[in-house]
Each structure stands twice: as C-alpha cells, then as structure tokens.
C-alpha cells in the first residue's frame, strides 16, 4: 500500500526500494522502518512510500491513502493537466494519449518513482512529461509504432528520474552552478540508469537511453563522452526533445526562449552534436505547425 510519509509507523515493511539524495538505495525492499528512517524520509521531501501493512491494519483510517491504481491515474492525468500545446501539435498529441495511459498501466513500479520525482522537484516532473510527449511525436514522425514507440515514450518520461538523487538546493539554485555542483548534476543520468537496472522493469533500450541522453555525437557530452554510433537512437531522440523543452521553458535562472529561436539552436548543432536525420525530421514537422499556426493552441 502507498501511504503519505506523515502516516508511516515504525515497524512497517518497505515494499519498494527508496533512493537517498546521494542516488544510492537507502531503504531496501523488505526493510523494517524505524523512527529515524521516517524522519529522514520527511527531510528528503519524499511524500509517499510503498509499504506492506499488517493484516489487521485498516487503510480507511488514513485520509490520504492511495492505491497503486490511483497513483497510476494521477501520473497519467499529468499528461493532460498542463499540456504543452504551445510547443507541439495538439491533434497529434491527442492521438498519443491512449499510448500514455496504456504505458502507465504497464509500469506500476516506475510510476512510484515518478511520484517521488514530482514531490522532489515539480519542474523536473513537468519536464519529464513534456520530453515524453515530444519524444513520442518524433517517434511517430519517424514511423515508430507498437512496443518501440512505447519504449521511446517511457525513456523520455524517465530520462531525468535520477534527479531524485540530486539535492534540491542544487536543482533549485537561481544562479549559475559551481563546477562542483555541475559535477553533481551530471551524475543524474548514472543514478537513473542504476536505479532502473536494479528495478528490472524496463528494457535495455530504455535504460541505455537514460544513461546516454546527454551524450553528443562529437564526443562533447556526458557522462562518458561517447560519440557517433556508440549513442543509442532513443538517446539521440530524447536529446533533441530535452533541449527543445528545456530552452522553451521558464526557469528561475533564465527566461524561456521562443520555439523558433530554439529551433535555430538545434539546427546549428545538427551537423556535429545532434543526429542530423532526426533533427531534420523534427524541424520540418515542427516548422510546419509554427509557420501555419494551424496545429497549436495556447
């Protein structure tokens, strides 16, 4: 059962691994909660935890009790609660809605970590939804269907899941990050990859793209400085979606840029850092909507 942290009681058993801010698993599945554990969970800002309750426990006594299915519905609804109609074609986005709902029902374990991400940092959660949407559209434009499209959307949704291991004072810092702080942020792709490998609920293609989505074809990316065909296709797609959404979003440390301006930035990187073919597909389809203004609503 999924309970709000404030309702946890010493002696309850952890039903799913919980990550510490360092990115390491602090509470393993099956561990018994102590008072110290509960205090630390609250300090980390983890809003809800999956626990195994005693047979005689009555969940109706907890007003904020959420079942797994309700959690799925909350996350699935996020795709529609604040849609990015100013950035992507409305009609095609709606066509993908059924895929998102189906996806949510298939990855119950992962949804819990998305809930943690939302509690940890709302921008990162919102960004995850947007990148999944844009990645899904690019996939459709490239002819992806079925499981391949679902895996791409899932990879986009989880590309920053490792940021639940990054301290909030760094994620929310209004000014420029120090070299040390930037090194901490750059660990999020490794944190996310390690987390999903341990959970064993996502495919190798999804896990690999989460690890590589900040790599660049010219070897200038991180965490390993991979280049060219050593970077997965999913990671190349998510890289473009990630850049587009991040630059067209308002942040505490900078103003958002217009879609046209960001498209020029992507076009400038399409011959060295980003995949040329995917960029052309993305820019051509997006430009059609921007120039005709027929597919967007605000």
Q: What is the torsion angle, in degrees rounded to the nearest 10, for the CA atoms of residue 232, residue 235, residue 237 and residue 240?
A: -140
Whole-number pLDDT of residue 120: 60
- Does domain 2-61 fall under CATH 2.60.120.10? My reply is no
Residue 205 is predicted with a pLDDT of 94
Pairing status of strand 18-19 against strand 2-4: unpaired
Q: Which residues pair with 4 in a beta bridge?
A: 48
Q: What is residue 66's predicted lDDT score, i.e. its pLDDT?
A: 38
pLDDT along the chain (298 residues), means of 10: 72 79 77 81 80 59 41 46 47 53 51 60 77 87 88 88 85 88 94 84 91 97 96 97 88 77 93 96 79 41
Distant-in-sequence, close-in-space partners of 295: CB < 8 Å, separation ≥ 6: 89, 90, 91, 92, 288, 289
- Amino acid 183: pLDDT: 94
CATH topology classification for 68-292: Hypothetical protein af1432 (1.10.3210)
- The values of phi and psi at residue 44, to 5°, are -75, -10
pLDDT of res. 62: 47
Instruction: Please list the residue range(s) of the chain that carry CATH number 3.90.105.10.
Output: 2-61
* Angle at CA of residue 292, ends 291 and 297, nearest 5°: 100
Global pTM reads: 0.67
Intervals of CATH 1.10.3210.10 along the chain: 68-292
| Backbone φ, ψ for residue 148 (5° rounding) | -65, -45
pLDDT of residue 95: 53
């Amino acid at each position: 059962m999924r309970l709000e942290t404030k309702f946890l009681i010493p002696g309850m058993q952890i039903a799913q691994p919980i990550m510490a801010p360092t990115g390491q698993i602090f509470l393993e599945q099956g561990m018994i909660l102590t008072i110290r554990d509960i205090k630390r969970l609250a300090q980390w800002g983890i809003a809800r935890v999956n626990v195994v309750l005693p047979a005689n426990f009555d969940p109706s006594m907890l007003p904020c009790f959420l079942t797994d299915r309700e959690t799925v519905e909350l996350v699935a609804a996020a795709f529609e609660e604040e849609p990015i109609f100013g950035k992507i074609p409305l009609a095609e986005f709606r066509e993908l809605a059924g895929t998102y709902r189906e996806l949510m029902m298939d990855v119950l374990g992962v949804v819990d970590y998305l809930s943690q991400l939302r509690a940890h940092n709302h921008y990162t959660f919102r960004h995850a939804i947007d990148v999944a949407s844009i990645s899904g559209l690019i996939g459709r434009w490239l002819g992806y269907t079925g499981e391949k499209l679902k895996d791409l959307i899932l990879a986009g949704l989880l590309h920053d899941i490792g940021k639940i291991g990054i301290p909030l004072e760094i994620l929310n810092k209004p000014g420029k990050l120090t070299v040390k702080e930037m090194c901490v942020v750059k660990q999020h792709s490794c944190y996310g990859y390690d987390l999903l490998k341990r959970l064993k609920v996502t495919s190798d293609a999804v896990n690999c793209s989460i690890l590589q989505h900040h790599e660049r074809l010219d070897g200038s990316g991180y965490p390993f400085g991979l280049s060219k065909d050593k970077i997965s296709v999913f990671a190349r797609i998510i890289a473009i979606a990630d850049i587009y959404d991040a630059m067209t979003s308002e942040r505490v440390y900078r103003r958002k840029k217009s879609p046209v301006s960001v498209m020029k930035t992507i076009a400038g990187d399409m011959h060295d850092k980003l995949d040329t073919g995917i960029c052309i597909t993305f820019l051509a389809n997006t430009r059609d909507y921007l120039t005709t203004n027929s597919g967007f609503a605000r």
